[in-house]
Structure 1
Amino acid sequence: MATTPDPDALPPTSSDSVDLDDKRPESVPPFADDDKPPRDFRFWLVFLGISIATLITAIELSAVSVALPTIVKALDGSSFIWVGSAYTLASTAVIPLVGGLAQIFGRRPVILGSLLVMILGSALSGAATSMNFLIAGRAVQGIGGGGISATTTIIISDMVPLHERGAFNGLIGIAWSVASGIGPIIGGALAQNGQWRWLFYLNIPIAGVAAVLMALFLRVPTPPGTMMQKLAKMDWIGNGLVIAATTSCVIALTWSGTQYAWSAVPVVVPLVLGLVGLAAFLVYEAIVPKTPLVPFVLMSTATGISGYVQTFIMPIVMMGLIYYFPVYFQACKGASPIGSGVDELPFALIMAPFGIIAGASVNKTGRYRLQIWVAWVILLLGTGLQITLEYDTPRGHALGFLVLCGIGLGILATTTYFPVLAPLPVSQNGPALAFFIFLRNFAQVWGITIGGTVLQNQLEKRLPPAFRAQLPSGTAIAYATIPLVRGLAEPLQTEVRIAFAQSLRIVWAVLVGIGGIGLAASLAMRALPLRKAVDKNWALERSGEELERSGGEQERTVGAKA
């Protein structure tokens, strides 16, 4: 007698959902219709390991930039732009590859390998004796960081059904927000005390603890096949295309406005080649490989496309705020680098609780569209209000507007992947989330670049000509000016502060326009049901006693149905 299929494991009945054959290998033990994966101490220890791993990636994003001037001086460097870009480039380019490896080789070896690579990269970065040495170490860190971001997200999707995942996303968001909030303070404190190497060395024990937890408690099925069979399944041409195209785009965006003008050949050529390469990658994935990195089905529905567009837009706005609001505090309010980091702390810390609230509401109602719409409106309101900021606007107003932005971003951070996953069967979680993380990381580069370009162009127009003539060209104009503002005599000091406030006003206006694209894209979402099952192929392994008990219960259920 055959068992009745689990209705929650099947695609939702909707014209905007995708129906795929979701067969399971015979080696995977059957689950009763109402049976859920166990949530014993192993589940929570794996979740703890994921949270600890998240701390590393969040600190790398927020803390290192504060310490870079001190690091460059200590290593007798002349430019620190590639210290950040090497990490971003490596972490973004490697994500589709990581998603493919996790699908073919299994989650456990990929997350352990990513943590080990992060440990190696952190050790190399901390031991750096030159800028080139440090850049190489940061690239190794980036490979590990990209692997951690992608694989931890996939593992959560394996462990937690979609309809419950909002609350768990919120809990992960706490780790991210706390690390993002204290990261700049830690980085600044270590740099000021001449201990910048510990900014990298501290990752080693943190990653080590996460690796031990994963090694001991992440017991999931390993896909069958020999090493050669698994290697043959990998989409090597697709990986080569996406890595080359991403590298070309990031190089162009890194050089734009700093080493070369936007219209210069060294920027235009790699940017065009990169964008064409990404388009070619998507076309290739839809037609050629048997095991694609980005299956065409991921973007075959309006809801899925809406989710991916929002996923790309949200980080652009977020990084624009994270990178350029400190410029307002430092240039217009005279705050120190650490002081501006403290000013941004409410922004970081407010994101987590509202992310949890949004996730809990999705759990309770099974709906996600209203939360996303409200979040976009709040984010656009907060960003729009920043357009009213003058150089002498009370600090409390600026902080209040920033808190509004944090509320909107906190909700979006935990809800935008519901429209990505809701149309798909659970078997597509891995590639869907790998592409999700890739777009999110890639968008962060665009957010920094767009904000920097707008600020550069506006400052060139608005700074007093005599003062502007003394400064170097490129986006470094903002950071070259900020340390000088306090020492300027009046009325020049006020004129420079006014120029910064008016220039940043255009940055905020551009971010509002970009955020409007996200809101418009969200209107295409459909209200699809959220699954209450996970992919049994990747469920945590159960003990013999649990399997025996589950099997007996299932036999009784089948007998009753028969």
Structure 2
Amino acid sequence: MGTIYYLSATIFQQPVAEISHVVGRKPAFLLVLTFAASGTIIAGTAKSIPVLLAGRAFQGFASAGSVLSAIILTDLVPIQDRAIWLAIQNARMLFYMNLPLLVISAIGLASLLGFDKPELGIRRSLKKVDWIGIGIFIPSALSFLSPFVMAPTLFPWKSVQALVPLASGVVGLATLAVHQRFFAKRPMFRPEIFDKHVTVSAILGLTVCGICMNVLLFHLVLFWEGVRGYSKMETSVAVLPETVSIPIAALICGLLMRYTNRIREAVWIGWPLTVLSLGFLWFMDDTTALPWLVIINCGVGLGAGTLMAALNVSLLAATKKELNGHAIAMGLQARSAGMCLGIAIGTTVFSYTMNQQQQKAGGGEMDSEQILKLIEKIKRDPECLKAIIDALRVLWTICCALSGVVGLYNSVCKFPLLRPTSELKEESASSF
């Protein structure tokens, strides 16, 4: 259920953003809300798994529309305040979207949000959308990401079901890159966004943030329930250090960047804090004192929140104002793709490591679903408990290494000021 949601959300973010650039934000937003309501109704009335999956896919499409909130913020809010508002938006996303709220949102959007109606009209403007790019991107992204969210749970990585879609997706995305660079009259993925080291490193950084956060949130549940023996209710409280500290850190980072007019220091603080906290996860086991667990997990959340605020704003500051909508959409796309990759990396590495441990103990090979069912056995079997801790430590090490490599590249890039010095001088002169 979760994988189809993430897959749909990742694939449709850029098409939704591209359509909004042409026909306007309001029609695109109302379309997204329609899909959200439809997905909620379909999932709520489903009497079979395929119908339920279809509803979740519709809801994933609606989740892809969250990119419109970020784009509208870039339209309305000055760059020095965008990190603050983006952090507030992320905090709101913690709440569950349901039908009454959707109705209220639709009424509010219809009455309060201005309609930036295209001069040529919607029908003629739709012809300007990069439909060829969208037509290449959706099946290519679906083909590329499907093995990552389905293997090895449904089929092994070495199978035809995994390798053929993966290879097809790579060819399709390569074709898309050529089309966007040389043939598209109005490319969906603007080449200018990828022309600077700072923007490329920010996109990579947001991808790694998505990978690490999904690996953590999926497998911390296993740590708290299996290793520490918590109930589901207690586990939901135990993961609060990450879920609460991320928006708080993003908000504080946005305020500090606005005050100092600088991005570089936030990046220099965020990456070391993230890498250090991920490294300390390695020491978590069944005997670690609870206060230390809270501190370590808060450190991960604070580092991730700081980075997501700083990297999103660096994308905006390093691109032209007219491309800010495309830049923020690319940043959210990168993080969403990272979340899909995080599912694959976490499941594959954890399953492989656990099977290695099982074979050493004389047990047979198991798939990931069977491994996840070992939680109750973990509470009674010290050997199995140790195997789970070791498998989790491999995951924490991979996340730490990924963050260290991309963080090093990101930290040596030249970051622009939040606002140019000339603009600050003009504001200062006008205040007298």
CA contact (8 A) 1:314 1:409 kept: yes
Distance 2:122 2:272 in 1: 50
Alpha-carbon displacement from aligned partner over 1:90-135 (angstroms, at most 9, x marks no partner): 2111111111111110001111110111011111101111111100
Work out whether 1:173 is the aligned partner of 2:90: yes
Matched-pair identity in %: 25
Task: Pick the aligned partner of 1:392 from 275, 287, 310.
Answer: 287
Instruction: Identify which of 344, 347, 350 aligns with 2:239.
Output: 344
The answer for the alignment partner of 1:66 in structure 2 is none
Deviations 1:417-446 (A, max 9, x none): 122121222111222222222111111010
Find out whether 1:204 has 2:204 as its counterpart.
no
Partner of 1:161: 78
Q: How does 1:439-458 map to 2 (within 5 A)?
A: 439-458=334-353
Count of residue pairs the alignment pairs up = 421
Aligned-partner Cα distance in 1 for 2:284–2:417: 42
- Using structure 1 for the length normalisation, give the TM-score: 0.72
Alignment match, 1:505: 393
What is the CA–CA distance in structure 2 between the aligned matches of 1:94 and 1:171, rounded to whole Å?
Answer: 23
SS of 2:117's equivalent in the other structure is coil
Matched, 1:401 2:332: no
The CA distance in 1 between the partners of 2:401 and 2:128, in whole Å, is 42
Compute the displacement of 1:389 (Å). Answer: 2.1
Shift, 1:465, TM fit: 6.0
Does the 8 A contact of 1:462 with 1:499 survive in 2? yes
Q: How far does the alpha carbon of each residue in 1:439-488 deviate from its partner, in whole angstroms, 9 at most, with x for none? A: 1111101012101111111111123767843xx732213312113333x3
| CA drift at 1:325 | 1.2
Separation in structure 2 between the aligned mates of residue 485 and residue 306 of structure 1, nearest angstrom = 40
Partner residue of 1:423? 318
Per-residue displacement from partner, 1:39-97 (whole Å, max 9, x unpaired)? xxxxxxxxxxxxxxxxxxxxxxxxxxxxxxxxxxxxxxxxxxxx222212221111111
For the 8 Å contact 2:317–2:418, the answer to whether it is kept is yes
CA shift, 1:316, in A, is 0.8
| Cα contact 1:304–1:423 (8 A) shared by 2 | yes
CA contact (8 A) 1:313 1:517 kept: no
Show the counterpart of 1:310. 205
Residue 139 (structure 1) shift: 0.9
Matched, 1:473 2:366: yes
Partner SS state of residue 94, structure 1 = helix
Name the residue aligned to 2:376: 483
TM-score when scaled to structure 2? 0.93
CA contact (8 A) 1:98 1:434 kept: no
Map Cα deviations across residues 194-239 of structure 1 (whole Å, 9 max, x no partner): xxxxxxxx61112222222211111142221134422221111110
User: Which structure has the bigger radius of gyration?
Assistant: 1
- Which 5+ residue runs of structure 2 have no aligned equivalent? 421-429
Q: Secondary structure at the match of 2:118?
A: coil
AA aligned to 1:505 is R
Structure 1: distance between partners of 2:208 and 2:409: 10
- Select the structure that is richer in helix: 2
- Residue 21 of structure 2 is aligned to residue 128 of structure 1: no
Cα distance between partner residues in 1 of 2:75 and 2:413: 24
Does 1:377 find its partner at 2:265? Answer: no
Conserved 8 A contact 2:16-2:28: yes
Cα deviation code 1:278-300 (max 9, x no counterpart): 22212211111111101111111
Q: Does 1:324 align with 2:186?
A: no
Q: Which amino acid aligns with 2:329?
A: A
What's the Cα RMSD here? 1.9
Tell me which of 519, 523, 527 is aligned to 2:407: 519
Q: Is the 8 A contact 1:315 1:440 kept in 2?
A: yes
Partner residue, 1:5: none
Q: Which runs of 5+ in 1 are unaligned?
A: 1-82, 184-201, 533-556, 558-562
Does residue 274 of structure 1 match 2:192?
no
Partner of 1:300: 195
CA contact (8 A) 2:190 2:326 kept: yes
